Chain A
Amino acid sequence: MAEDVAPRQNLAQRYRKPLLGALAVAIFFAAWQAIFLVVPFDPLFISKPNLIFEGYADLIESGDLAHDLAVSAVPFLYGFIAAVIVGVPLGIVMGWRQKVGYALDPLMTVFYASPLVALSPLVVIFFGVGVSGKAVIIFFLSVFPFVFNACAGVRAVDPLLINVVRSLGGGEGDLYRKVILPSVLPYIVAASRIAVGRALIGVLVGEFFAASEGIGYAISRFGDIFALDRMFACIITVMVIAVVLTEGIRWAERAAFPWRTGR
């Protein structure tokens, strides 16, 4: 076991993990490419890395990919920003005011526990298939992590700090600004990491349902016309975006709140 060995680390050992990871990814794509030398290749069932690469080049050159991503980004941003604007204050008040917490906690839990995606057909009927319909789905999927995390963050505020501000004559507004908000910030960033994943689900659901452009629509359309190379290219794009967003926020958490890295 590597971690039991005494720390005589050289360069290769220090970078062992990322190196092994990169190697595994390379092996995976090489094997994917190579297996069709043995197995008959059926372009209606599976694609090959070189074809996916060509499909990628094609999508980028024609500008389709950039267009679809731009179309999907708009409702994503609207829904996500609305979720922050509504979710964070609501969570803070729920955490700070005990009675508000009592009153809203079960309701929020019911909403959070039920698969709200199931209402997306209704949302599409109400709000249409454009930006607003998608933004509403994204909002409802991503608001609850913000509510619950902001609430947990407020409840974790050090009471000593509150007493200090009160003793020094700070009012309710000072408390919110100087004590509560800074303590809650790490929780909100953590919430945004969870919410990003759920918001992406919202984008895909909204666009699978009924859309004429967007990355989710592109994936489902390329599937319908058996253009598996371009479909894989879009799927990989979504995966890369998801990883960059999630890991980017994780990295920002570590950089901004190093005392919380244990979590």
Chain B
Amino acid sequence: MTEIQADNLTIAAALPADSDAPRKSAWRRFEPTILGTGTIVLLLLVWQFLPEFVPMKAGTKLFFTVPSHVAGTLWTMFATGSIWKPLGVSASAFAIGLVLAIVAGLPLGVLLGRSATLNAMVDPFITAFNATPRLVFLPLLMLWFGIGIWSKVAVVFLGALFPLLINTYEGVRNADKLLINVVRSFGAGEWDIARLVVVPNSLPFIIVGLRLAIGRAVLGVVVSEFFGSQDGLGVVMVRAASQFKVDVVFAGLIVFAALSLIMTGLVKLLEDRLTRWRPQHSNAG
């Protein structure tokens, strides 16, 4: 690595400065992108052509798939429309659970941030639930809600609730005491304080919580569909795995990853829109 850098330097010194400078800066600018995508492309190529170079037993071939095959399967799933029904089931469990978590988590977080007594009482439960993988409740939730959509919604809800709750709480605790006192001096009640100071101030924290919550929610959908469910994309994947259709499993993984990336991107857009008024140097969590 150091040798290459040294070579570049000598070349740079030898060439006329005006022709070299823009070329070099262009390479500098795109170096991260080129190297980053290069690694991914390289990995995919190695994976693609591995069967050509490495002889495999018939048994291993059964478990093996290549990227082009996965892409083809993904294309077929969308082209024939066979993906829409299971994806719809998974997406609705995801959406309902996430919305419920937001509806419950934000007010609760504000409440806990504003009341020290309530916070002290609820804290052990939050610590316990947040440290524990929510997956541990899955068999119990299946007993309670059956193997339809509602046990999935419950897992998603539990997964997404705590990041939202805790981040809202942190944001509320972080609110400027001075601003609260000013608003209070002007005769505002708790509701006005929450609306005017606390909630706007905690928005960056809530957004971070939302991003975490999306990851947890996707995880919740996938796992709950693996173990106790009748339909959904996770069910399709487990069935495919047990029939050695490895390409379908990877296609499902890609769809779930895309779902999570798209949702995170939307949150990013929301963040930019909601925090436009905020100065650049804000202490976003």
A contact residues vs B (CB 8 Å cutoff)? 1-3, 16-18, 20-25, 28, 44-45, 97, 99, 102-107, 110, 113-122, 124-126, 197, 200-201, 204-205, 208-209, 216, 219-220, 222-224, 226, 228, 231-232, 235, 238-239, 242-243, 245-247
Q: Is the CB of B40 within 8 A of A223?
A: no
* Sample (16) of A-B pairs whose CB atoms are under 8 Å apart: A1-B116, A16-B120, A102-B32, A106-B37, A110-B40, A113-B264, A114-B256, A115-B253, A116-B253, A118-B253, A121-B226, A121-B241, A201-B223, A223-B139, A238-B133, A243-B127
Q: Is the CB of A239 within 8 A of B132?
A: yes
Q: Which residue of the partner chain, among A21, A119, A219, contacts B136 with CB atoms under 8 Å?
A: A219
Bound complex: CA A222 to CA B137 (Å): 12
Q: Is the CB of B1 within 8 A of A205?
A: no
B279 to chain A, nearest CB (A): 22
Contact count A vs B, C-beta below 8 Å: 166
- Closest residue of chain B to A243 (Cβ to Cβ) is B131
- Supposing A114-B260, A118-B249 touch, asked if A204 and B120 sit within 8 A by C-beta, the answer is no
Bound complex: CA A115 to CA B219 (Å): 6
Q: Is the CB of B128 within 8 A of A243?
A: yes
- Supposing A24-B124, A122-B241, A242-B131 touch, asked if A231 and B40 sit within 8 A by C-beta, the answer is no
How many B residues have CB within 8 A of the partner chain? 58
B132 CB contacts on chain A under 8 angstroms: 200, 238-239, 242-243
Q: Which residue of the partner chain, among A24, A205, A224, contacts B125 with CB atoms under 8 Å?
A: A24
Q: Which residue of the partner chain, among A197, A200, A208, contacts B227 with CB atoms under 8 Å?
A: A208
Q: Is the CB of B143 within 8 A of A45?
A: yes
**Interface hits, B139-189 → A, CB 8 Å:** 139-140, 142-144
Q: Is the CB of B1 within 8 A of A99?
A: yes
A200 CB contacts on chain B under 8 angstroms: 132-133
A230 to chain B, nearest CB (A): 12
B98 CB contacts on chain A under 8 angstroms: none
B102 CB contacts on chain A under 8 angstroms: none
Bound complex: CA A18 to CA B237 (Å): 46
